[in-house]
Amino acid sequence: MNKKAFIEKTAKIIFLICAVVAIFAVCAITLYMFIKGAPALAQVGVFDLLFSSEWKPTAQTPAFGIGYIILSSVVGTSVSVLLGVPVGLLTAVFLSEMAGKKIGDVYRSAVELLAAIPSVIYGLIGMMILNPWMYKIEKIIFANDSEHSFTGGANMLSAIIVLVIMILPTVISVSASSLKAVPDSLRSASLALGATKEQTIFKVVIPAAKSGILTGAVLGIGRALGEAMAINMVAGGSVNIPLPFNSVRTLTTQLVSEMGYAQGLHRQVLFTVGLVLYIFIMIVNFALLKARKKGVAE
Amino acid sequence: MNNKTGKFNELSCFILLYLKFTKVLHSVGYGFYIKYIGCKCTRKAPINKENLNNRKEDFSMNMKKKIVGMLVAGSLMALAVTGCGSKNEDGANAKLSGSIALAGSTSMEKLCEAMSESFMEANPGVTVTVEYTGSGAGLESLAAGSVDIGNSSRALKDEEKANGLEQNVVAIDGIAVITDKDNAVVDVTSDQLAKIYSGEIKNWSELGGADEAIVVIGREAGSGTRDAFEELLDIADKCAYVQELDSTGAVLAKVASTPGAIGYVSLDVVDSTVIGMKIDGIEPTEEQILAGKYVLQRPFVMATKGQISDQSDLVKAWFDYIQSEDGKEVIKKVGLIIPQ
């Protein structure tokens, strides 16, 4: 073998090793989650674990039902996305279609800042400002309800509001750039046919940027589903059915708050909770892939 | 000293490794770097035979320097890692050296950190490592022989004692029940407290206070404080918390900021932002705990396998230190009570 070929080959191997690191990490994490998370499924029983609502991990006869926890994650994520995406989309429309350059720039940097704020800050503000407000509202609504356990404002609704604000920057920036990518010729054609600006935006520009907006929404779902810190601080953290004024626990906060002390089967079940979360995230990523492919196909 | 020569051996080993590594580099040829990493510099000027050699030399020098730097940093890191794990069993008589391993209760973290810090200051040759795995797990590791001392924030169970574990109470922790500053109810019976936490009493007016809902705040499942609280009140797993928070600080902050809230924390963290409630008319104070009148108290145990007198010199020294004036000061400083 001559020297040049040897060098080429060495280089190729080195690049390959670098590429393998990332793949290896993904495979290792997937494998680890399944190996760690699956045993408890068998031990507790798939149905009892995933669909039962009773969570008493340290009781004499422990119960490991994470039904309400899964439900809280699903409800919290979907409601916050349903609220956040329209607001984010309209903001993106304003940014890319209506705002002048100066206002647009100010807005864009504000949105970027919003995205950069650490989640613990969101949690802190939620805890100090949002929760007391919520408690006032809760007191008014449940004034004559002797059955209601007052949560002090740390509830599902607080979590959703925090999540909506947290997913906004993702939705806005992804949608705005996909709206920007719509060719001007489409706008000009629409306007030339006599359509108003609003008609052009809603009938032409948004449909043309559909796949990008969808991508933004899916990314938002991913962020809302995976958020732990802020939710942990505002949602109260007891396992309940996810009604607006109930204190709830999601998949992420379940892991954060109990991993520290859990032992034995309790710990294994927490790994299963992690596995469930991981599977949800895989589904979201799969949807993301589909959304992007759709964009390419069109 | 022994330790140092060990480190030097490791260092020389790294130097040898480095030399071998550079040799391999030499054999592979610097051409590789020029080709892939140095592509920018080859573009600057046309290459001809005269300056190609210079370039190679320049480049190899630079790379060499970088590699040396990286390797030195790497070996230092490796040394730091191996240095931490290295044990020195054969200590001299005059000065103690070696390491003591503790594992167990998370509630005892503050105590253990402070105690081990001041113990290591007094005995520079000794390393104390503490893992916070939870009382049960700590005692398990002690029984399995993987640690010297098992920390437990509850009294040992009979089956644990049957395993040959010895209960050495080093401190007593009081649990205070706290409520927000505006609450008019500052005295509850332990029965009322149990009812509040199990959700039977929902409004402070039922206890003679203002018409304010009770916001029941507690710790997450698995927390030592929660275990102790529920066990002491005999309401294990019957609690209806509306908020389960995962740290003492969080409970304190929530109770302070939520009207009508009630929560429980270690006695020593109670501050002026909240009210420490009387239970059965007894103030949560050190005197009352030592007198055994205040119900919400638990022992901090540093369990050993067999009597202290059967332990190694190091472990004996550790317990001697805890009982010394310095040790007592540490216990007081972290807000605990010295057992009598």
> What is the tens place of the pLDDT at every residue in A164-187?
999 999 999 999 999 999 999 999
If one counts every other C-beta atom within 10 angstroms of the C-beta of residue A59, the result is 13
Q: Do B106 and A60 touch (CB under 8 A)?
A: no
Tally C-beta pairs within 8 A across A and B: 111
Q: Do B214 and A150 touch (CB under 8 A)?
A: yes
Q: Do B243 and A152 touch (CB under 8 A)?
A: yes
Half-sphere exposure of B159 (CA within 13 A, CB side): 2
Q: What is the mean pLDDT of residues B199-206?
A: 90
Q: What is the mean pLDDT of residues A9-23?
A: 93
Half-sphere exposure of A223 (CA within 13 A, CB side): 25
Identify the closest residue of chain B to A254 by CA–CA distance: B220
Q: What is the mean pLDDT of residues B102-128?
A: 89
Q: How far A157 CA sits from the closest chain B CA (Å)?
A: 14
Least confident of A197-201, A259-263, B106-110, B273-277: A259-263
Q: Express each pLDDT in B119-164 by its tens digit.
A: 999 999 899 999 888 788 889 899 989 999 999 988 888 888 888 8
> B-chain residues within 8 Å CB-CB of A249?
244
Instruction: pLDDT band for B304, please (50, 70, 90 cuts).
Output: very high
Instruction: pLDDT band for A199, please (50, 70, 90 cuts).
Output: very high
More confident residue, A138 or A261: A138
> A-chain residues within 8 Å CB-CB of B261?
152
A13 touches B at CB < 8 Å:
no
> Which tokens in the block code for residue A268?
């294994």
Q: Do B136 and A151 touch (CB under 8 A)?
A: no
More confident residue, B124 or B54: B124
Q: Do B261 and A249 touch (CB under 8 A)?
A: no
Least confident of A80-89, A207-216, B183-192, B230-239: B230-239
Q: A90 pLDDT exceeds 80?
A: yes
> Can you give the pLDDT at residue A192?
94
Q: How far A271 CA sits from the closest chain B CA (Å)?
A: 15
> Can you give the pLDDT at residue B150?
93
> A-chain residues within 8 Å CB-CB of B247?
none
User: Which amino acid makes up residue A69?
Assistant: I
Q: Do A57 and B242 touch (CB under 8 A)?
A: no
> Can you give the pLDDT at residue B22?
47
| Listed residue (B203, B146, B205, B214) closest to B179, CA to CA | B214
Q: What is the mean pLDDT of residues B78-107?
A: 61
Q: B6 pLDDT exceeds 80?
A: no
Q: How far A208 CA sits from the closest chain B CA (Å)?
A: 42
Instruction: pLDDT band for B34, please (50, 70, 90 cuts).
Output: very low
Write down how long chain A is. Answer: 298
Q: Do A237 and B220 touch (CB under 8 A)?
A: yes
- Give ∠ CA B242-A259-A37 in degrees, rounded to 5: 115
Least confident of A45-54, A212-221, B54-63, B278-287: B54-63
Q: B31 pLDDT exceeds 70?
A: no
Q: B5 pLDDT exceeds 90?
A: no
* Pairing assessment for the beta strands B274-276 and B169-180 based on DSSP bridges: antiparallel
> Can you give the pLDDT at residue B2?
43
Least confident of A45-49, A141-145, A203-207: A141-145
Q: How far B185 CA sits from the closest chain A CA (Å)?
A: 18
If one counts every other C-beta atom within 10 angstroms of the C-beta of residue B306, the result is 10
More confident residue, B246 or B77: B246
Q: Do A263 and B214 touch (CB under 8 A)?
A: no
If one counts every other C-beta atom within 10 angstroms of the C-beta of residue B28, the result is 14
> Can you give the pLDDT at residue B64?
53
Query: A111-127 b/e with 16+ CB inside 10 Å = b?
Result: beebeeeebeebbebbb
Distance of alpha carbon A279 from alpha carbon A157, whole angstroms: 25
Q: B322 pLDDT exceeds 50?
A: yes
Superfamily of domain A3-297: MetI-like (1.10.3720.10)
Q: What is the mean pLDDT of residues A106-127?
A: 90
Q: How far B150 CA sits from the closest chain A CA (Å)?
A: 15
Q: Do A56 and B242 touch (CB under 8 A)?
A: no
B36 touches A at CB < 8 Å:
yes
Interface of B with A in 242-281 (CB under 8 A): 242-246, 250, 253-254, 257-261
A146 touches B at CB < 8 Å:
yes
Instruction: pLDDT band for B27, please (50, 70, 90 cuts).
Output: very low
**Complete DSSP assignment for B226-261:** HHHHHHHHT-TT----SEEESSHHHHHHHHHHSTTE
**Residue matched to tokens 């059915």:** A241
> Which tokens in the block code for residue B231?
């066990």
Interface of B with A in 92-111 (CB under 8 A): 106
A153 touches B at CB < 8 Å:
yes
Distance of alpha carbon A160 from alpha carbon A156, whole angstroms: 6
Q: What is the mean pLDDT of residues B271-283?
A: 92
Helices (H), chain B: 2-28, 31-36, 39-44, 49-85, 109-122, 135-144, 158-162, 190-198, 224-233, 248-257, 286-290, 313-323, 325-333
A154 touches B at CB < 8 Å:
yes
Q: B175 pLDDT exceeds 80?
A: yes
A290 touches B at CB < 8 Å:
no
B28 touches A at CB < 8 Å:
yes
Contacts of B44 (CB under 8 A, 6+ apart): none
End-to-end CA distance of chain B: 42
Q: Taking the domains of chain A in order of start, what are their residue ranges?
A: 3-297
A109 touches B at CB < 8 Å:
no
Instruction: pLDDT band for B167, please (50, 70, 90 cuts).
Output: very high
Q: How far A115 CA sits from the closest chain B CA (Å)?
A: 26
Q: A224 pLDDT exceeds 90?
A: yes
A199 touches B at CB < 8 Å:
no
> Can you give the pLDDT at residue B3?
43
> Can you give the pLDDT at residue B132?
82
More confident residue, A48 or B57: A48
Q: What is the mean pLDDT of residues A16-41?
A: 93
